[in-house]
Structure 1
Amino acid sequence: MRAIRVDATGGPEVLTVVDVPVPTPSPTQILVRTDAIGINYIDTYFRRGLYPRPLPYVPGDEGSGVVDEIGSEVTTFAVGDRVAWAAAPGSYAEYVLVDVSSAISVPDGVPADQAASALLQGITAHYLIESTYPAQRSDTVLVHAGAGGVGLMLTQLAVAKGVEVITTVSTDAKAERSAQAGAAHVLRYDDDIAARVREITGGEGVHAVYDGVGADTFEASLASLRIRGTLALFGAASGPVPALDPQRLNGAGSLFLTRPTLAHHIRDRAELEWRAGDVFAAVASGSLTVEVGAHYALEDAAQAHTDLESRKTTGSIVLIP
């Protein structure tokens, strides 16, 4: 089978196509023929070496496809079932081994590309709005990268709860997409974001900021919060944030700062099924639209990373084997 392999950390050019044997499932695994493979910004962190991973490795953790073979102890899935996953290392490949504990059934009516995009980013949006800062009706929140995969889904989930959403974007086209997702106010990164947020909120600031951008937006995020507001820093697309003296949180209004991660929000099967079930049910009903902004052939993974890091993409992007 074909797979993408990283032999040394670096730029997108280190993503190379290789031929490797089709793996064999263990007793508690399923072998899935991939129909679509999710690309997420965290994939670039591993590729660049920002997050260490033993070399060589096949990137990717998310995708969707059809079960091709089951392990001897598997009883919950059968050959031919449609499944998706968000925690199967080595997903940039034509066949992927998925632990049964990580696989989720894909409902009828959810296309493969949306299924491959909905879990990691959708569950991230779900835990941010339901657990990290559980926004309430009439709250106002700020979502950075409002036209990205997480940003678009987070905006929709927040608006469905009656939350007013302010977003930031980099282009007019992205501003339009963010507004279509329900953002009440769309700001540009070159605006004075904190000043505009204060203006929009009558000087109060927002109840929460959901920041996956990091270095470029961190100061504006802190300055946009109201007293006892929450900054959820869930990514670092522009680089890691600088060191912070906790006393600053006091002076800025007894602020809360947290750095959540997906693994701590799907700690058992019940929590995974709750979050994934909510996301897929919303997609199937049409109340949550998963925008797949671009499809790339598997061998074009390097171009996909290039486009993602240069902010040329909107919504989610996928590889098609």
Structure 2
Amino acid sequence: MDKKVELTAVGGIDKLRVADCIPQQPAPGELRIRHEGIGVNFIDIYHRTGLYPLPLPAILGVEGAGVVEAVGADVADFHVGDRIAYAGIPGAYAATRLLPAWRATKLPDDISAKTAAASFLRGLTAHMLLTRTYPVGRGTTLLIHAGAGGLGITLTRWAKQLDCTVIATVGSIEKADIARANGADHVIIGRETDIVAEVSRLTNAKGVDYAIDGIGGETLRKTLGCVRRFGVVASIGQVAGPIPPVPVEELGPIRSLSLSRPSVMAYTTEQDAYRFATQAVITAIRQGIIPSAGHEYGLTNAAQAQSDLEAGKTTGSLVLVP
């Protein structure tokens, strides 16, 4: 009998329940995947806590990798035994799952399932942020919060390949070392540090061109103060809590800022963009831009994995192994 981890009610990790499950038969246009790795992300926590509600009971997890175990009718591009990865659709915290065939991306033999499972959502997020939300390039200066986390490391490595200057923020000296080792040009340490003053000092009072804020809470307002006139701020998360209302006057006309709230889940619903971006992610994995999984947990320990991620005890990416 296979296992799944089910969310029974909105709340803490105690609302996650391990249960038995039986593999389902794929409908037309679907695949059944047997997972070899499942990514753990903050969006899983947002789903659990009800910030982004799902119909209950629900199986969390929006990325994974494994082997095609069964193929539904009308699927011509995949066969039993194919190795695939995917991202952008809940239902991953289970030994097997059904998946729309168009979501699957064939995985080359030189990329492990665990690496892909912990990389695809972050890779797609980085691709969205660096090519669509604000196309960066030589001369761009970025501010990246949580520079030692899985997404922060990926963004930093990718941005450096594109000849950008990266200013990263981290919560500790140990995490500063990680951010620097992954290419950050400057690191701001400590949650209580005046990041506006530090960014001003590092940019000769100009401000950064682009800031990516996955922290939320009051940090977003501080982030707005770090960006030059006509610069862009991307708000992509709220680890520190709900984002207070931002009056339009804080964006302009004096500052003339653009505030974006991009969603990788929305990005992955665009099939053409998804296909193109997943190939870019595979290339980035091969080039070492996207780090391999930093922490492994058994599938039945999904609650502990979420707890560790939420408490900031981890660096890099997390993966569940069935």
How would you bin the TM-score normalised by the shorter chain? over 0.9
Q: Find the counterpart in structure 1 of residue 21 from structure 2.
A: 20
Q: Shift in Å at residue 251 of structure 1?
A: 5.1
Aligned equivalents of 1:252 and 1:108: distance in 2? 53
SS in 2 for 1:123: helix
Aligned residues: 320
1:218 to 205, 217, 220: 220
For residues 83-98 of structure 1, the aligned pairs below 5 Å read: 83-98=84-99
Shift of residue 258 of structure 1? 0.9
1:249 corresponds to 2:213:
no
Q: Give the Cα–Cα distance (whole angstroms) in 1 for the partners of residues 221 and 192 of structure 2.
A: 14
1:259 alignment partner in structure 2? 261
Q: How far did 1:319 drift?
A: 0.4
Aligned partner letter, 1:311? G
Q: Structure 1 pair 264/53, CA: closer, same or farther in 2 (3 Å)?
A: closer
Q: 2-side partners of 1:12 and 1:170: how far apart?
A: 24
The SS at the match of 2:313 is coil
Rounded to whole Å, the distance in 1 between the matches of 2:17 and 2:269 is 33
Query: Contact 1:118/1:280 (CA < 8 Å) preserved in 2?
Result: no
Q: Distance in 2 between matches of 1:221 and 1:278?
A: 29
2: distance between equivalents of 1:118 and 1:289? 6
The alignment status of 1:204 with 2:206, answered yes or no, reads yes
- CA shift for structure 1 position 21: 1.9
Aligned to 1:230: 232
CA displacement at 1:216 relative to structure 2: 4.0
The runs of 4+ residues in structure 1 deviating greater than 4 Å are: none
Please name the residue that 1:61 is paired with. 62
Which ranges in structure 2 are unaligned for 5 or more consecutive residues?
none
How do 1:164-313 and structure 2 match up within 5 A? 164-188=165-189, 189-250=191-252, 252-286=254-288, 288-313=289-314
Measure the CA separation in 2 of the matches of 1:89 and 1:250.
Answer: 37
How big is each residue's C-alpha offset from its partner over 1:152-172, in whole Å with a ceiling of 9 and x where there is no partner? 111111111100000111122
Give the letter for the 2:6 counterpart: R
1:139 paired with 2:149, answer no
Letter of the structure 1 residue corresponding to residue 202 of structure 2: I
How many angstroms apart in 1 are the aligned matches of 2:197 and 2:136? 22
Deviates more, 1:50-59 or 1:74-83: 50-59
Question: Taking structure 1 as the reference length, what is the TM-score of the superposition?
Answer: 0.97
Q: Which residue of 1 aligns with 2:120?
A: 119
Q: Which runs of 5+ in 1 are unaligned?
A: none
Aligned residue type for 1:211: D
C-alpha spacing 1:88/1:267, structure 2 compared with 1 (3 Å): closer
Distance of 1:113 and 1:194 partners within structure 2? 38
